[in-house]
Amino acid sequence: MTAVQWKGRNVLVTGAGGFIGSHLVEELLTRGARVTALVRYNSRNSWGWLDERYRAGQPNLSVILGDVTDAQLVHTAVTGKQTVFHLAALIGIPYSYTAASSYVQTNVIGTLNILQACRDAEVDRVVHTSTSEVYGSAQYTPIDERHPLVGQSPYSASKIGADKLAESFHRSFDLPVVILRPFNTYGPRQSARAVIPAIIAQALTSETVRLGTLDPVRDFTFVADTVDGFIRAAEREEAVGRTIHTGSGRGVTIGALAAMILEQTNPRAKVVTESGRVRPEMSEVRQLICNNALAKSLLAWEPRVTLEAGIAKTVTWVREHLDVYKASAYAV
């Protein structure tokens, strides 16, 4: 059972201007939390996806522009917070092949800064965001939390490092950390770097949908369900010190996913494989399917939105926001 009362609770969300982060901020505000949103600094004073819903003066919302690689800024942001959700990360896998050092700085050093600040501030709970990519190609499916970790890309290696730091701070300093490991999250506000909005945007604007390899299998979870997992991870005392999956348990090939989306958007469109979108052979993750039994038992969590229903919601949103997508360009 939960003992957390969100109304009036002081909460920090890093990566708050991003896809999942903005949805999490929205849910926390709905529950009455006092949210500080850390958004990566930019000279445009943009709050990322928070700009779509909020303006300065929004009750219970404070926005800090900064960077998790700045230890002093992180320390200031964490001070006085009761719960910290750490979502800030560089996440594009293809970009990690050419900018590996940036991934180490943001994902590893940035996470270390968050953990150290949370330890100093004696926060009640830290929810650290992992990724199913840390498993590489599945050695067995569905994947449970005991599956070996494999650094199959520089991105996944950096996230393994971040996860292990979070684990070490719990073991070494008794920091109340939960590592939440979402499988592929999708939904409104996701960038074209991800496969579902990439397919949708192309299908709505062209008769040709250009993709990479079509046979990899992924497990997709609608963003509202992933956010629910974050909230529950912060509420349940039994979750402290654990790594917990959120995923549907349903595997779908990218080719089948594309067919499902085209049926809802543009049945005449053709899917073609474009060499520039294909990942290095030894780096391609072939299969990710979630075993979510631990989330069900510890968090009483399970997905509520089917893939078909979630795609329909996402299609509607992308159709209304086509101006934010460069559909013909490959988003690395």
CATH assignment of the domain containing 140: 3.40.50.720
The tokens 């303006």 sit on which residue? 55
Interatomic CA distance for residues 208 and 266, integer angstroms: 10
Q: Does 75 map to a domain?
A: yes
pTM of the full predicted structure?
0.95
Q: Which stretches of 219-322 are DSSP H helices?
A: 223-235, 254-265, 293-294, 307-320
Indicate the SS3 state at residue 191: coil
| CA-based nearest residue to 327, from 199, 211, 214, 196 | 199
Question: Does residue 32 form part of some domain?
Answer: yes
The count of domains in the chain is 1
CA dist 159 and 163 (Å) reads: 6
Q: How confident is the model at residue 228 (pLDDT cuts 50, 70, 90)?
A: very high
Contact between residue 206 and residue 327 where contact means Cβ atoms under 8 Å apart: yes
pLDDT value of residue 328: 67
User: Within a domain: residue 268?
Assistant: no
Whether 321 maps to a domain, the answer reads: no
Q: Which tens digit of pLDDT belongs to each residue from 114-156?
A: 999 999 999 999 999 999 999 998 999 999 999 999 999 999 9
Q: Is residue 245 part of a domain?
A: yes
Mean pLDDT of 287-315: 97
pLDDT given at position 2:
54
Q: Which residues span the domain enclosing 104? A: 10-186+221-249+288-304
Residue 331 clears pLDDT 80, i.e. is over it: no
**Is residue 327, in this structure, part of any structural domain at all?**
no
Structural domain contains residue 266: no
> Does residue 263 form part of some domain?
no
